[in-house]
Amino acid sequence: LYLGLFDEIFNDDSMPCYAGPSGDLLHWAAVIEGPKGSVYEGGVFFLDINFRLTNYPFGPPHVKFLTQIYHCNVDGDGLVNLEKFWPEWSPVISLKQILHLVCNLMKQCDLVNATNIRIAQHYLNNKESFEAKARKWTKIYAT
């Protein structure tokens, strides 16, 4: 099962992401390269994925950016609230789908499901300034 998941993640060229168990099978680490053409391009972002802290597989895993990121879908503690994107969570939602979501959010903020309202307002009110700040944070924290 887990070897198939490794193969599914590592052999997907559309996803600049790597993930694997960190100590045990219920606690994973992930690394995402900032997507090309995004404000996060050139950065390397580390994530913690913990299946133990939730009712997984009946609830989404706990996904947290360990690398600071300026993003409206990531709260001040680095958490991505997966329940906003999958309010009807299902055990068939795979880690690959979760990682695809995070990679896609790095390409385009989802303002409807923003968890950091201040950053979402910054994006809406002055996208150029938002992008400059996101690039600055990427340079400071992710390179």
Q: Would you say residue 125 has pLDDT above 90?
A: yes
Better-predicted residue by pLDDT, 10 or 29: 29
CA distances from 60 to 50, 52, 75 (A): 9, 10, 16
Which of 2-6, 13-17, 76-80, 89-93 holds the top average pLDDT?
76-80
Among 14, 13, 21, CA closest to 95: 21
* CA separation for the pair 54, 33 (Å, rounded): 26
**How many other C-beta atoms lie within 10 A of the C-beta of residue 97?**
11
Q: Would you say residue 82 has pLDDT above 90?
A: yes
Q: Would you say residue 8 has pLDDT above 90?
A: no
Q: Show the CA angle centred on residue 90, arms to residues 112 and 6, nearest 5°.
A: 95
Cβ(96)–Cβ(55) below 8 Å: no
- pLDDT at position 55, please? 82
Give 44-63 pLDDT, tens digit per residue: 999 999 998 778 888 899 99
pLDDT band at 14 (very low <50, low <70, confident <90, very high): low
- The residue extents of the domains of the chain are 2-141
Cβ(78)–Cβ(30) below 8 Å: no
> What is the pLDDT averaged over residues 25-43?
95
CATH H superfamily, domain 2-141: Ubiquitin Conjugating Enzyme (3.10.110.10)
- pLDDT at position 52, please? 83
